[in-house]
């Protein structure tokens, strides 16, 4: 392009045949850096607040990660994950719950195809996530060794403060076929009390008492040194000096624990027996001998015997690989193939490190169960390094969710791909998503029927049963209440919104009274009323096994009132000229509502409807008040277990993550719908 310089007196005009170079905009004028400069560092006050807020957020995140990795007891989650997901349902019920969950995922896939287009980048990210979900646990198990279990052997009484412990000579444990068990006298930990204090892994009570005694002794030494330093200076008042002197006189440093107990200074006899008390291996171990190693022949129970013969003044600490604490459960189970047999008591033993499970009773001696390496008496003690967090907490959790996540993603992808294919085959070019949208609508209508058939339990040779509904719980019950509440409340809410605008006084008055009365009372009140009054209307829902159905009625009726007001707001937002024009064209009232006003009203209030659905999803936690064990109720039940008493922080953090994930997904869809300005969840 030719440019001519502006004419100026005394200057010859010149023509330039090259474009001037385009300079990029200043980095601090546009883009992310400009936004940061303008919004975070625009003034001195903004800069100070930004720095203070950043430091606060970093501190909170760092403290949380340090607690979660080093101290949090996530066994309360990994060992109860099934309870969090589906409650106490068993056997045939597991299959029905899985089929229902997969059907819901299929419906979500169809809805994605009807409302949005998922990019290849998203599918690639999901594929990478699934690959990591399978590869990460395998990589952790291959590269990170499990920590040993420390058990004390001997007859000496170990005193730590007011606690006195004696090592248990015989312990039962479970093992998987082909696993290698290695037993040796622990090296290095008995060299000093400082080494004993740093002992961190699974320990029995006797070993933990030794560690606590060493820790108390070192703390006493440190306190005496601190008091001597204070008394040697002149910073204390007379009263403070008297108190420090009195405290110093009361303190006495005992002899080193490792010397007083003669830790690891005496040979220890070790034997491993099977469940029938047949010996499999034995050895006499010292710090200088080779460890005892054995590969167990089958799944099941084994017995460890340990003793320090001829010496009641010493103790040995054994480091054992392959023997880990277990969680004991017992419950009633019915055989679905034998309707005449009553429920049988089932005992399950689950290993904490990898969720390996054995059913049946423990080995018995003289008619009594032998002591087991249980998670109550053999907890993980002291701070946990990151490697132990990976192998003990993260890998077992990922192993449990691999298959469900893969199935759910696969069914969602199948629903999405199937709906896309149906659109290409049957939808007209002017409405490329019409078929998938109709299919999505009908699938949501069919969902409550399918859920009722699967969960209520139409058996092959019997009538409709409610016997399993009292076992519903966890995320299964939460999602059922949410899905039924959304699907059931939607048509009722639309009918109430239209009824409130009706010209018939009876219909308008009834709709108005219903909406105002229900919106004027809390959900808890509606839940209690449903539990008490629904049986009078539907006697078949009066039994204790039908409480979830009564909760569904309450949630549906309560949500319908709020949804009706959202829809009515959308109807009132439409200009009256459209309805007048439709009447001028000769359309009937129902045609105007069905084809003109209602579609526009629903499209206008989609963000409000999604917000209502998110609120409904979170409000289902209130059903715990009426005796149902939803996701929040399971948290309380887990914290009430003897093995995990008072572990509320871990369980509440876990369910908070679950609530956040589902709520965030719904809110993202809502924002995209609102930004698009239409009923399609697409990017603009």
Token digits of residue 569: 């707001």
Q: What is the 3-state secondary structure (H, E, C) of 140-209?
A: HHHHCCCCCEEEEECCCCEEECCEEECCCCEEEEEECCCCEEEEEECCCCCCCHHHHHCCCEEECHHHHH
SS3 261: coil
**Mean per-residue pLDDT of the chain:** 83
Write the pLDDT tens digit of every residue in 664-673.
Answer: 888 877 776 6
Count of residues in the chain: 684
Token digits of residue 97: 């719950």
For the chain, domains (ranges, CATH) are 3-65 (no CATH), 90-145+396-462 (no CATH), 149-323+326-378 (2.60.120.380), 468-684 (1.10.3720.10)
Calpha distance 379→260 (Å, rounded):
25
Q: Collect all residues with Cβ–Cβ distance below 8 Å to 317 and sequence separation of at least 6.
A: 150, 151, 152, 153, 185, 186, 189, 190, 207, 210, 263, 264
Calpha distance 140→641 (Å, rounded):
29
Q: Distance of CA 14 to CAs 2, 3, 8, 17, Å?
A: 10, 9, 11, 10
Main-chain dihedrals φ then ψ at residue 252, nearest 5 degrees: -145, 130
Write the pLDDT tens digit of every residue in 61-109.
Answer: 999 999 999 999 899 899 888 888 877 766 545 566 677 778 888 888 8
Token digits of residue 512: 């108005």
Q: DSSP H helical segments within 71-117, as ranges?
A: 75-78, 81-86, 92-115
Residue 196 near residue 317, CB atoms below 8 Å: no
Reduced to 3 DSSP states, what percent helix, strand and coil does the chain have, rounded to the nearest 5? Answer: 55, 15, 30
Main-chain dihedrals φ then ψ at residue 87, nearest 5 degrees: 80, -140
**Nearest to 437, CA basis, from 457, 450, 425, 422:** 422
Residue 93 near residue 471, CB atoms below 8 Å: yes
Calpha distance 69→422 (Å, rounded):
48
> What is the average pLDDT across 650-678?
79
Q: Distance of CA 415 to CAs 113, 297, 452, Å?
A: 8, 46, 21
pLDDT confidence tier of residue 458, bands split at 50, 70 and 90: very low
Predicted confidence at residue 672, as pLDDT, reads 65
Residue with more model confidence, 561 or 583: 561
Write the pLDDT tens digit of every residue in 13-58.
Answer: 555 556 666 666 665 666 677 777 777 887 888 889 999 999 999 9
Calpha distance 682→165 (Å, rounded):
66
pLDDT confidence tier of residue 459, bands split at 50, 70 and 90: very low
Predicted confidence at residue 461, as pLDDT, reads 41
């Amino acid at each position: 392009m030719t440019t001519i310089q502006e004419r100026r007196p005394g200057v010859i005009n010149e023509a330039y045949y090259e474009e001037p170079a385009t300079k990029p905009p200043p980095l601090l004028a546009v883009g992310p850096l400009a936004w940061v400069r303008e919004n975070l560092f625009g003034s001195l006050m903004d800069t100070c607040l930004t720095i203070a807020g950043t430091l606060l957020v970093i501190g909170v995140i760092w403290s949380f990660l340090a607690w979660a990795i080093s101290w949090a007891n996530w066994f309360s989650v990994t060992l109860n994950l099934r309870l969090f997901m589906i409650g106490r349902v068993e056997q045939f019920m597991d299959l029905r719950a899985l089929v229902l969950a997969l059907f819901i995922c299929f419906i979500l896939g169809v809805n994605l195809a009807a409302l949005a287009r998922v990019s290849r980048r998203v599918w690639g990210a999901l594929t990478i996530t699934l690959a990591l979900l399978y590869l990460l646990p395998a990589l952790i198990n291959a590269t990170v060794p499990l920590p040993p279990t420390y058990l004390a052997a001997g007859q000496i009484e170990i005193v730590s403060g007011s606690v006195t412990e004696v090592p248990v000579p015989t312990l039962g444990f479970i093992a998987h076929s082909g696993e290698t068990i290695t037993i040796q006298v622990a090296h290095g930990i008995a060299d000093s009390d400082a080494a004993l204090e740093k002992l961190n892994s699974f320990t029995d009570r006797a070993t933990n008492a030794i560690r606590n005694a060493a820790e108390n002794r070192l703390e006493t030494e440190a306190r005496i040194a601190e008091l001597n330093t204070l008394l040697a200076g002149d910073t204390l008042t007379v009263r403070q000096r008297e108190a420090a002197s009195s405290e110093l006189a009361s303190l006495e440093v005992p002899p080193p624990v490792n010397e007083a107990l003669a830790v690891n200074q005496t040979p220890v006899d070790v034997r491993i027996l099977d469940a029938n008390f047949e010996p499999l291996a034995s050895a006499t171990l010292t710090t200088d001998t080779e460890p005892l190693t054995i590969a167990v022949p089958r799944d099941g129970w084994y017995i460890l015997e340990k003793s320090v013969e001829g010496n009641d003044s010493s103790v040995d600490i054994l480091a054992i690989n392959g023997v880990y604490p277990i969680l004991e459960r017992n419950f009633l189970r019915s055989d679905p193939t034998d309707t005449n047999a009553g429920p049988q008591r089932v005992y399950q033993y689950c290993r904490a490190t990898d969720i390996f499970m054995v059913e049946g009773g423990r080995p018995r001696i003289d008619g009594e169960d032998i002591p087991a390496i249980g998670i109550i008496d053999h907890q993980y003690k002291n701070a946990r390094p990151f490697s132990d967090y990976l192998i003990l907490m993260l890998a077992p959790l990922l192993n449990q969710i691999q298959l469900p996540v893969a199935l759910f993603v696969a069914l969602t992808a199948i629903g999405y791909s199937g709906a896309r294919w149906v659109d290409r085959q049957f939808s007209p070019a002017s409405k490329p998503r019409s078929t998938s949208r109709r299919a999505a609508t009908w699938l949501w209508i069919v969902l409550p029927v399918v859920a009722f058939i699967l969960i209520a339990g139409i058996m092959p040779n019997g009538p409709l049963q409610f016997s399993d509904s009292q076992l519903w719980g966890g995320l299964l019950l939460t999602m059922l209440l949410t899905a039924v509440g959304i699907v059931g409340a939607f048509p009722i809410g639309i009918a109430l919104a239209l009824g409130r605008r009706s010209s018939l006084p009876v219909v308008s008055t009834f709709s108005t009274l219903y909406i105002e009365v229900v919106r004027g009372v809390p959900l808890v009140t509606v839940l209690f009323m449903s539990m008490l009054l629904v049986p009078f209307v539907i006697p078949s829902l009066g039994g204790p096994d039908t409480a979830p159905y009564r909760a569904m009625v309450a949630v549906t009726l309560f949500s319908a009132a709020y949804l009706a007001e959202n829809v009515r707001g959308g109807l009132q937002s439409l200009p009256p000229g459209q309805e007048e024009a439709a009447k001028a064209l000769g359309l009937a009232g129902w045609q105007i509502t069905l084809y003109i006003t209602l579609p526009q009203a629903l499209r206008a209030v989609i963000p409000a409807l999604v917000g209502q659905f998110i609120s409904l999803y979170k409000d289902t936690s209130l059903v715990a008040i009426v005796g149902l064990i939803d996701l929040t109720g399971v948290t309380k039940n887990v914290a009430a277990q003897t093995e995990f008493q008072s572990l509320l922080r871990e369980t509440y953090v876990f369910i908070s993550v679950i609530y956040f994930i589902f709520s965030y997904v719904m809110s993202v869809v809502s924002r995209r719908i609102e930004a698009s300005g239409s009923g399609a969840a697409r990017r603009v």
